[in-house]
Structure 1
């Protein structure tokens, strides 16, 4: 958008001369100087100015208060006096006591320039201040880590890799993904703004950089998030991927007619603005800590917009066999219930990944674990994820060319107290149960571990970036356990069984029937608590009954247990703890699918989780989650036991396959897998 240039005024001339002198003295011979002429002499509109400044800041890495100020002035049209006060504070805090400060007084307070030119001048001055005070060094954040991979000898895609699984994806579209299989396939077919690696560090994929407060990507205290797209993004049909495609995906996600699997989280975005083809601005309803987990994908508006949102799930070219995708591979064909055959997307580019390197990628589903193991024995598959530890005996006999890769999963086995039961509302009883468990001995007995390295002390175990190293493991102390129970009024009879007011101390331990290791662990818990006089009845349930919703009579949701034994699986985002421990998440008939199964109601935990959710500063979020973790450990609402393992079997000929703590993200770097 252009405007006719008005005649130059004396005010503009004086202003231009002043800035020219400042720029000249500071050797700021950049695009900023060219911008001065256009803004001061041609009265470029505010939106154009905003776009320009965003580009200047982005290209020159001017990650200063200038970036934060842009949103407030250009988006909110802050008046000249307020702008002047803001700059005065910035200059004062940064000790910029120069001619710039004198100029502000003369120009801004006396209203020499019209509002629009004043705003542009303000930003130029802030850019100058930023140039004087900020270096071009890279931003450092605990969220960042180094991505490494082994490059192939040649760039041309070669070879055929078969990824074996016991489940077939229900959809090939991230709008509707709900299972690990769906998500693993999505990583091959769809690009993402950012991704989290196996150390839970975040990297840019379709963006040129990860938006953080430290680099100017998060503004206005978290209410504005700037997404800068790579300029070479293309759909698999060769059409450009633009900012409008990200806005379109979000509109589909939030439309109830679409039926997106996960709309919460994305609903914290109030609206999306596209400054230009490569700049997406998320206007948040409020600062939202997990925003990196809810950056919108892109959807091909040019290919989908002729369908109504309600029709997308019934359209094979969108739901099952998407014809236009953005990831390293695209669908060649699909045999329902059996396999997807993918080929390279020649238009794929990424800020982090380098591939695709495979000429053909097959996602092959097998009907059962024995069928998958048979295919593995015959070397019909190249990579197979998703094994449990009780699958290991037969896996150990696979051909020598197949290697077993293991890492600690971000999932942990634990015991949950039902806080709705009067027995466990007494912290002395909860502590006594905790002290009665020799967890290290259980690891040796049940898992045949030689040591206690897999023991977990908290609900954010490593590799969580919010892990609290100060939380120590609970002790094994039967004497103290018995003492605490006696203090709580539970006294043993002649057989050592506890009674109180004529009531036998008997608890129902509920768990699942599908996992033989869990069955053995439940029996160990039963034996251990029996030593202090607590009688334990073990109840085994089918998964659908155990995890069913409140209105479906789910055991956990309805609280039909005293103590429960199962696994929690974490992602890199600790906000997931909100759904498990915040008091607003206790399931009932009105909210049958909430996840605070333990009926935990603790104001300190509520406050900490709320602070972590609505804060974008990593340091402040980590402090909030450490308060949560410490309170959880102090009150013994849950007894973490041990980390599970992520187990992958891969051919020695495939490179860059890395077991991921989050099973669904195991293929996050599939663009860089290659055979050789």
Structure 2
């Protein structure tokens, strides 16, 4: 679609000859994301959709009995600002809500807001320097206190306070000020023109906690707040009990701000076990209603589906299973900190080693023999939306080529077959979470490494520990006290700007930020940082797409981040359960609208 055709399409929407939805579909067909299509309309004076109706048949709140969710990676805390692992973010979403969320097509849907801002309704500056959010009146926190503009302002202050060490800081740091217009209206003023004005307070990372309960715990005391484990939100369910690493229980909120919701009387989020047992409990036995994040071999899922109690739901996403190569030395302690930014990794500081490791990952076989529908082999960090997918990257599995690269770089094999250089043997510790497919994935990689003269010690850590935000536990993914690690990173918006912030140098995880920084590999690259800064200022959709591709290529070429699989969202759903799933938001983003058909 050329510029003339684009303008004609926008004009058709303004004249009523083309619906906004059809316009967005046309833009998706030519590779433009739904949010940016909406932004183009807004900049042309066309209002964005204010509401979205989801199918919902119940005519009253309650009556649905218990809703039982199985999260085999058990949540360990319930404060969304500290949720490193997705399982913690999901559990927090059962109680806390954002101003808006993302539907399956990448459209914004109001939650605690009355409408989506736009130029047409006077709430969005055309240059992205400010946005006004109108808050839904009559919303109350679970303890009866009113939800107001003060809560929105507080969450910005809380997340950006350096001593709070919130994982959400990157979503709020570009806000220069928030003006309180009245009890139910706020204006966000950005430090510079901001293309992604819809990042703060939106989606899974944008849920809002109450000022009156967390105000005394902003900054250094943030981890001491009792409500980190006892959420008081605005959501459809009231907190009952939480056993970290085990179970969250809740009951229907009779004062929920949406009529006739929720359908279920009680909610249970059960943690523990493994992904296979979780799949069995929904697909085969029907003991649970929903099984989250089914990292199970596709062959097993197909067999369990034949049990007839549930079905596998596959939702496209931008989620990435990847391997990180530590840029720092995990075995040397500097000022009381291992993997310090003041050190360099003794092996991966050699680009030849990183290049060889990349060639020794058999992505195609890992997809074929382990993940099937649940993982698509990829060389890219950004895989969806397609407009942002780089055509420049390729993956290759080549043991012979890896051996040649190492040999040329001076890594020689000894009598045992192990390579070494300057007295340093090629020995690595490779960790991930305890999970069947991931252990098989590790085994395939180890076998290839051995053929290249690299010795690998495999380490698996129970998921509730590996994805924990425990600052004292050295086995968390964020501490990264080993040479290599593997996990999945979720892309929580159809715009991957926040997703790509996990590679900027100022997000490096460290003791100083309580290991809350998103750059866990500690990889630092000045070119990448400059490109990312340019992205945050760029408003033109075409130029943004080009910047995304360049960012992808720089980080992938650095070989400290090795993309492996694009992971669609795989869930188990008991037959009759309606969930309105989206690949761009939490699994539980529409929990108030879940219901069971008879």
Q: TM-score if structure 2 supplies the norm length?
A: 0.69
Report the Cα distance in structure 2 between the residues aligned to 1:428 and 1:660, rounded to whole angstroms.
Answer: 36
What secondary structure does 2:388 align onto? coil
Q: Which of 549, 573, 578 is equivalent to 1:655?
A: 578
What secondary structure does 1:192 align onto? coil
Deviation string 1:319-369 (CA, Å, 9 cap, x unpaired) is: 6263xx533x242x72454553432555524xxxx8625152422436645
What displacement does 1:455 show? 0.5
Report the Cα distance in structure 1 between the residues aligned to 2:289 and 2:459, rounded to whole angstroms.
Answer: 36
What displacement does 1:570 show? 3.4
Corresponding residue number in structure 2 for 1:283: 189
Q: Given that residues 43 and 126 in structure 2 are in contact (C-alpha distance below 8 angstroms), is that contact kept between their aligned partners in structure 1? A: no
2:366 is aligned with 1:442: yes
Q: Given that residues 289 and 621 in structure 1 are in contact (C-alpha distance below 8 angstroms), is that contact kept between their aligned partners in structure 2? A: no
What secondary structure does 1:207 align onto? coil
Corresponding residue number in structure 2 for 1:612: 535
What secondary structure does 1:403 align onto? strand
What displacement does 1:588 show? 5.2
Deviation string 1:2-58 (CA, Å, 9 cap, x unpaired) is: xxxxxxxxxxxxxxxxxxxxxxxxxxxxxxxxxxxxxxxxxxxxxxxxxxxxxxxxx
Corresponding residue number in structure 2 for 1:460: 382
Cα distance change of structure 1 residues 269 and 638 upon mapping to structure 2, 3 Å threshold: closer
Cα distance change of structure 1 residues 539 and 499 upon mapping to structure 2, 3 Å threshold: same
Cα distance change of structure 1 residues 272 and 398 upon mapping to structure 2, 3 Å threshold: same
Q: Given that residues 409 and 644 in structure 1 are in contact (C-alpha distance below 8 angstroms), is that contact kept between their aligned partners in structure 2? A: yes
Cα distance change of structure 1 residues 504 and 527 upon mapping to structure 2, 3 Å threshold: farther
Q: Given that residues 58 and 595 in structure 2 are in contact (C-alpha distance below 8 angstroms), is that contact kept between their aligned partners in structure 1? A: no
Return the structure number with greater helix share.
1
Matches within 5 A, 1:555-594: 561-572=482-493, 574-576=496-498, 580-587=502-509, 590=512, 593=515, 594=517
Q: Given that residues 254 and 267 in structure 1 are in contact (C-alpha distance below 8 angstroms), is that contact kept between their aligned partners in structure 2? A: yes
Cα distance change of structure 1 residues 253 and 484 upon mapping to structure 2, 3 Å threshold: closer
2:593 is aligned with 1:672: yes
Corresponding residue number in structure 2 for 1:384: 291
Q: Which of 625, 629, 633 is equivalent to 2:556?
A: 633
2:436 is aligned with 1:516: yes
What displacement does 1:642 show? 1.6
Cα distance change of structure 1 residues 220 and 343 upon mapping to structure 2, 3 Å threshold: same
Cα distance change of structure 1 residues 223 and 424 upon mapping to structure 2, 3 Å threshold: same
Q: Given that residues 91 and 269 in structure 2 are in contact (C-alpha distance below 8 angstroms), is that contact kept between their aligned partners in structure 1? A: no
Structure 1 range deviating more: 313-322 or 239-248: 313-322
Corresponding residue number in structure 2 for 1:342: 251
Q: Which of 457, 461, 465 is equivalent to 1:542?
A: 461
What displacement does 1:474 show? 1.9
Q: Which of 286, 295, 320 is equivalent to 2:230?
A: 320
What secondary structure does 2:199 align onto? helix
Cα distance change of structure 1 residues 469 and 374 upon mapping to structure 2, 3 Å threshold: closer
Q: Which of 38, 61, 65 is equivalent to 1:160?
A: 65
Corresponding residue number in structure 2 for 1:601: 524
Report the Cα distance in structure 1 between the residues aligned to 2:538 and 2:428, rounded to whole angstroms.
Answer: 40
Cα distance change of structure 1 residues 186 and 159 upon mapping to structure 2, 3 Å threshold: same
What secondary structure does 1:527 align onto? helix
What displacement does 1:522 show? 2.4
Q: TM-score if structure 1 supplies the norm length?
A: 0.63
Report the Cα distance in structure 2 between the residues aligned to 1:500 and 1:336, rounded to whole angstroms.
Answer: 52
Q: Which structure has the larger Rg?
A: 1
- RMSD of aligned residue pairs (Cα, Å): 4.9
Matches within 5 A, 1:93-172: 137-138=46-47, 149-152=54-57, 154=59, 158-166=63-71
Report the Cα distance in structure 2 between the residues aligned to 1:403 and 1:643, rounded to whole angstroms.
Answer: 21
Report the Cα distance in structure 1 between the residues aligned to 2:164 and 2:429, rounded to whole angstroms.
Answer: 41
What displacement does 1:389 show? 1.1
What displacement does 1:194 show? 1.1
